[in-house]
Amino acid sequence: MPPIRRSRTAILILTLLASATPRPVAPQAAAHYRQAADVFELMDNVSDWWPGYSDRRYRSYWVRTIGLSAADDTLLTRYANLRERYFDKRGQSNEDPATSEGGLFTARATLAADPLGDAFFQSETVGEALGRLDGRLQPADIRFLRGFYAHFERRYLPLVTEHEKAIQASLAETNRTLTSPSVERWIGDVERFFDVPIGEQRYDALYVWWPDSVQVVANPRGRFLVVRALVGSGEKLNVSDVVAHEVVHVIAARQTSAQKRSISDAFLRDCPVIPSTGRLGVIEEPLAVVLGNMLFTRTFRRERYRYAKRWYGDDWVDLDAKLLFSPTVDAFEHGGRITDTVAEAVQLCATVRALRQRSGPPADK
C-alpha cells in the first residue's frame, strides 16, 4: 500500500485545530504538597532565626524528639545569619502604621521579601529549590545550604515523607472546595472589593508539617500560603476556609499604597492600634475573618456556619469581625468596595475601643 500523503492544506488545518484546542487552566486557588516547602519550613523554624516570625514549637519538638548536637547548633546559627542577610524585613510588624506604606494593612514589600523561601515554595524537591537560587544568593551561600540540608536529611526525611502520605485525603478534600468555579468567582469578588486587579494572582497553599496536632494555622509567605497541619493518615480535613482567610491577607497587601494610607489614616484618627492585637488587628484581620472565614463558610460549607461561634483566637478581633460582618457583607454582595465601608467600620471600631477601656477584654467563650 503506497504511503498516505497529506496535502499542505490538510496539515495546516490540523495544526490550526490543535492550536485552537483549549488547554486546561489552573485554578486560581489550590492546595499542594511540595516536599521542598515542607523541609524548608521545618528547618527554618528549627533554626528559630527570627523569634515571632519563626515558631519555637518546631525547635522544642526537634530538641525533645530528635536531638541537637553542638555541630547541629553551629550549622543552625550560620543558617540564621544567612536568613538575616537575605530576608527583607521592610513592611513587617515592626513598622509604624502612621507612616509606613502598608499602614494598617500588609505591606506590598512582604510579597517579595524572601528569595530563599520563594525558591523552596516553588519547588518539588530540595535539589530543585537549590538550583533556583543561582543568581539570587551568593555561590558560597548556596554551597553552604547544600551541605546544611544534606547534614539534616537523614533526620527530616522520615518525618516529611510520612506527612506527605498522611495529608493526601485532606489535600483532596480541601481542593474539592478551593478549585471549584464558584470559589474562583468569590476570589474575584474579594479582589474587586479591595479594588485590586482581578484574576492576575494565583493563590497557592502549601501543606507543611508542624508539631501541634490540635491547631491548624496558616501564614502568607510572600505570594504563597503556608498551611500548618498535623493530620492522621486518611483523615479528611477540609481547611479551605483557613486558606481563604490567608487569601484575603494577600489581596489586602495588593492594594495601592494610596488606598492603604487613606483607610489607615481614617482609622488611626479615632481607633488607635492596641498593642496586644497589633496594627493588622485593627481592620485587616477582622476583614479576613469576615470574608475568609465567616462569609466563606456560610457560602461554601453552610453546615459548619454559626454566626455566634468563635471564629478567631484573639477576643477583640473575633468581636470586631462579628460587628463588621453585616455592613461588610452587605457592601460586598452589592458590588461595593472596602472604601464604602470605612466610615461605619471606624465608628464600630471606636465604640469597641471605648468599651474595652471601660471593661477590659471580653470573657472567653
Instruction: Give the tens place of pLDDT for each residue, 127-174.
Output: 999 999 999 999 999 999 999 999 999 999 999 999 999 999 999 999
Please determine, for residue 65, whether its predicted confidence score (pLDDT) is greater than 50.
yes
Percent of the chain with pLDDT over 90: 79
- Indicate the residue type of 141: D
Phi and psi dihedrals of 362, rounded to 5? Answer: -65, 155
Helix (H) / strand (E) containing 30:
strand 29-32
Tell me which residue of 102, 112, 70, 106 sits closest to 246, measured CA to CA. Answer: 106
pLDDT (average), residues 188-205? 97
State whether residue 226 is helix, strand or coil: strand
Q: Which residue has the higher pLDDT, 3 or 63?
A: 63
How far, rounded to the nearest angstrom, does the alpha carbon of residue 165 sit from its chain's CA centroid?
22
Residue predicted with more confidence, 84 or 233: 84
Residue type at 117?
Answer: G
Rg of the chain, C-alpha, whole Å: 23
Closest to 83 measured CA to CA, from 57, 58, 120:
120
Residue 314 has pLDDT above 70, yes or no: yes
The label of the residue with cell 497541619 reads 229
| pLDDT of 21 strictly over 70 | no
The answer to whether the CB of 104 falls within 8 A of the CB of 268 is yes
Are 291 and 187 within 8 A, CB to CB? no
Could you tell me if 263 and 193 are in contact, meaning their C-beta atoms sit under 8 angstroms apart?
no
Q: Of 222, 81, 55, which Cα lies nearest the Cα of 148?
A: 81
Beta strand 217-221 with 203-208: parallel, antiparallel or unpaired?
A: unpaired
SS3 of 274, please? coil
pLDDT, one tens digit per residue, over 234-284 is 899 999 999 999 999 999 999 999 999 999 999 999 888 877 778 999 999
**Amino acid (one-letter) located at 313:** G
**pTM value?**
0.89
> In which order are the strands placed within the sheet that holds 29-32?
29-32, 203-208, 224-228, 217-221
Instruction: Give pLDDT tens digits for 215-234.
Output: 999 999 988 999 999 998 88
Quote the cell numbers at residue 259. Answer: 488606598
* pLDDT higher than 80, residue 319: yes
Closest residue by Cα to residue 202 from 216, 191, 194: 191
Helices (H), the chain: 8-20, 35-47, 56-61, 70-86, 115-121, 126-132, 139-166, 168-178, 181-193, 240-253, 257-270, 284-288, 296-300, 315-333, 342-359
Q: Sort strands 29-32 and 203-208 into parallel, antiparallel or unpaired.
A: parallel
Q: List, as one string, the DSSP characters of 142-210.
A: HHHHHHHHHHHHHHHHHHHHHHHHHTHHHHHHHHHHHTSHHHHHHHHHHHHHTT--SS---EEEEEE--
At residue 295, the pLDDT reads 98
